[in-house]
């Protein structure tokens, strides 16, 4: 169950990164709404990470959490922010995913 909590925490990490990206080009009320989304996602992500490390080793949980957040943030950037897609970028995303799986298996 704590692995599921950790995955959800990692997805909320990409949620706060997404909100930061959306804050970049807006002003006024929309800026503050995306800022509020950032804070909510940040709080949920941290609370879920704290819950997961009650039973998972921090040396495994933290890299897995950041890896899930990093991979999903790159995907969100490609889909929503027109960030470039190249072979080398996809290669390193794949190696990051392989590293996350390797940490979980040890």
Per-residue model confidence as pLDDT tens digits over 35-82: 999 999 999 999 999 999 999 999 889 999 999 999 999 999 999 999
Instruction: Work out the angle at residue 38's Cα, subtended by the Cα atoms of residues 9 and 89, and round it to the nearest 5 degrees.
Output: 65
Quick one: which of 86, 52, 85, 88 has its CA closest to 68? 52
Q: What is the mean pLDDT of the chain?
A: 94
Tell me the C-alpha to C-alpha distance, in Å, between residue 18 and each of 35, 37, 48, 52, 105.
11, 9, 18, 23, 29
pLDDT level of residue 26 (50, 70, 90 thresholds): very high
| pTM of the predicted protein model | 0.87
């Amino acid at each position: 169950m704590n692995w599921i909590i950790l995955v959800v925490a990692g997805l909320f990490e990409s949620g706060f990164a997404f909100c930061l990206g959306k804050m970049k080009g807006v002003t006024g009320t929309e800026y503050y709404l995306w800022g509020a989304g950032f804070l909510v996602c940040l709080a949920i992500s941290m609370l879920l990470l704290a819950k997961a490390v009650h039973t998972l080793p921090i040396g495994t949980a933290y890299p897995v959490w950041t890896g899930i957040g990093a991979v999903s943030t790159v995907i969100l950037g490609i889909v929503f922010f027109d960030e470039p897609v190249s072979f080398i970028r996809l290669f390193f995303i794949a190696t990051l995913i392989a590293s996350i799986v390797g940490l979980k298996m040890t």
